[in-house]
Structure 1
Amino acid sequence: MFLQRLQEVELPSGPLRYHDSGDGPVLVFVHGYLVNADLWRKLVPLLSGQFRCIAPDWPLGSHAVPMRPGADLSPPGIAGMITDLLDALDLHDVTLVGNDSGGAYSQLAAATRPERIGRLVLNSCETPWCTWPPTHGSFGILKAAARHPLTHRLLYQPLRSRLTWRLPNTYGWLAKYPIDAEVMRGYLRPVLTDAAIRADGRKAIGAVDIRYVREAAERLRGSTLPMLCAWAADDHVFPLASAREYATLLGADLRTIGDSYTYTAEDQPERTAGVLRDWLSTAS
């Protein structure tokens, strides 16, 4: 099962493809590095009967259409793309749902341009006590390799083999259970075969830095924006203890999702949907 990209919108940074389904209050999903909207393929059908679900392919290495040359894909640039999308689609009172590094970008978007954002869901992602990229699973090598196009390209070549997909420093500590092979190929094919896509991903991962999350946290602290930390109980990459501390700092609710690693929408879509529905029924 895949999400169909039925729509495309032209943003200042370039074209963005997205899946749009359902009616009701709007949920906009923000995935992390080296996945695309199919991260939400199991979750969206569980929610689209009650919500309008918009799941874009953000330009983080697994997207199909490259950005314009010179597009700003730094954390502020990606956060700007999120709010540009809300502007372009004229969306209001949006619930922004960010997973993995998508949660970091979502924090920046909510902190800098909150006008169209009504609620923020941080779903197992960077907190001010993390590093970005995370040191857990040796993900720090991603930024180091991005210093040069050749090392960036070489880093991903082992992913041509399915034997590497479950390693801790690839997807093994992000998804507790194996991801469907065709979905995995959809994540990896762009970075392995398309130089323009690879260049976008390199720009994005090469610019990340935890200082952006810390700056966003300072702005969000004391905000009246309803916030939820929806965290994987078994997360290896983003410790649950940090989520507890962050929820206290932000005045956010904290709810855990059992039997899951970081990709809760992959490992436990029903539980993730239940947490979101329950919280959204009470968040004002």
Structure 2
Amino acid sequence: MPTLRLSAGEIDYSDSGGGGPVLVLLHGVTMDGGIWDDVVAALGPGFRCIAPTLPLGSHRRPMERTDLVTHRGVAAMVGELLEALDLHQVTLVLNDWGGAQFLLADGPNERIAGAALVACEAFDNFPPGRPGKAVTTAARVPGLLWLSMQLHRTGWFRRAPGAWGWMSKQPVPDAVMDRWFAPARLDAGVRRDLRAFALSTPSSAELVGLTQRLRSFDGPVLVVWAVEDKLMPREHGHRLAALFDHGRLVEVDDSYTLVPVDQPDALAAELGRFVTAEVTVGR
């Protein structure tokens, strides 16, 4: 897997290659870029898909500058990635973690032609529901984050209602979850990064300001929301789409938050249509 050196340290990323429209696909906490594998396969060779593994707890190497591992800092890393890979007219795709909205609101976003917000944190829902708040709570108590990551080894915890059982309707394969959870379970440096990120959650006032600044992004925006989502309120999908001059909402059935896991083919079809008919046409 290729790597890229950013200001905070070195990250992994995948790149499907090709000369088609570029999508940069972003994941949530204690997940990696592989969550998009089925979506990338369904999109096919007509699109270039880049999926970085951000320092959100499933990264293989601790960052060299933990002070940059914050919501704003990780959003800035995405901007660095676009510059380092010399990407232009990108469609930025978010799922679960919503912090990259800072990039849309505050820039630099001149390389971003459009955005797809897929069942992600928004408004005051940072972090979302019990799973996200549990990470933040554990980060505040010495030793509790380590204990939490040990619990992630057990099957009952992985499918428990209110925890990972509310992230996806379809069980994530154990081999994938093993890959996601091992770095923070085994590496104190990765846990340090995850703690720093969890404790950087913006204040309510900052989130209100972020919401208002999102209106300044004038590119096309596709909002994809799961009707049955238990962590991302359904009304947030409607409100997000209404924020943008060129926003559009699509609701997906039979899915929870991790739409790339539950409905990869349907999501790929929506992304393909959006990029081809709205982002590319609007260039």
TM-score, with length taken from structure 2: 0.92
Number of residue pairs aligned between Structure 1 and Structure 2: 275
Alpha-carbon distance in 1 for matches of 2:150, 2:164: 15
1:92 to 88, 98, 104: 88
1:198 is displaced (CA, Å) by: 1.1
- Tell whether 2:110 aligns with 1:115: yes
Contact 1:34 1:188 in 2 (8 A): yes
1:179 to 172, 180, 198: 172
Alpha-carbon distance in 2 for matches of 1:16, 1:123: 23
Contact 1:62 1:187 in 2 (8 A): yes
Relative to structure 1, the CA distance from residue 118 to residue 188 in structure 2 (aligned partners, 3 Å threshold; closer, same or farther) is: same
Tell me the SS of whatever aligns to 1:81.
helix
2:257 to 247, 262, 266: 262
Relative to structure 1, the CA distance from residue 210 to residue 282 in structure 2 (aligned partners, 3 Å threshold; closer, same or farther) is: farther
Alpha-carbon distance in 2 for matches of 1:126, 1:221: 16
One-letter amino acid matched to 1:10? R
Aligned to 1:37: 33
CA RMSD of aligned residues (A): 1.5
1:213 is displaced (CA, Å) by: 4.0
Tell me the SS of whatever aligns to 1:228.
strand
Aligned to 1:197: 190
1:82 is displaced (CA, Å) by: 0.5
Aligned to 1:3: none
Q: Structure 2: which 5+ residue stretches go unaligned?
A: none
Aligned to 1:144: 137
1:93 is displaced (CA, Å) by: 0.8
- Tell whether 2:237 aligns with 1:237: no
One-letter amino acid matched to 1:11? L
- Tell whether 2:147 aligns with 1:154: yes
Relative to structure 1, the CA distance from residue 213 to residue 123 in structure 2 (aligned partners, 3 Å threshold; closer, same or farther) is: farther
One-letter amino acid matched to 2:268? A
Contact 1:18 1:57 in 2 (8 A): yes
- Tell whether 2:46 aligns with 1:50: yes
Alpha-carbon distance in 2 for matches of 1:119, 1:97: 9
The worse-fitting range, judged by mean Cα deviation, of 153-162 and 267-276 is 153-162
- Tell whether 2:100 aligns with 1:79: no
1:138 is displaced (CA, Å) by: 5.3
Aligned to 2:21: 25
Aligned to 2:163: 170
Tell me the SS of whatever aligns to 1:118.
strand
1:17 is displaced (CA, Å) by: 0.6
Alpha-carbon distance in 2 for matches of 1:232, 1:168: 17
Matches within 5 A, 1:201-220: 201-209=194-202, 211=204, 212-220=206-214
Alpha-carbon distance in 2 for matches of 1:92, 1:109: 15
1:42 is displaced (CA, Å) by: 0.9
1:149 is displaced (CA, Å) by: 4.0
1:98 is displaced (CA, Å) by: 0.5
Aligned to 2:218: 224
- Tell whether 2:258 aligns with 1:278: no
One-letter amino acid matched to 1:42? D
TM-score, with length taken from structure 1: 0.92
2:122 to 108, 124, 127: 127
One-letter amino acid matched to 1:77? G
One-letter amino acid matched to 1:245? R
Alpha-carbon distance in 2 for matches of 1:132, 1:278: 29
One-letter amino acid matched to 1:224? D
1:132 is displaced (CA, Å) by: 1.2
The worse-fitting range, judged by mean Cα deviation, of 44-53 and 74-83 is 44-53
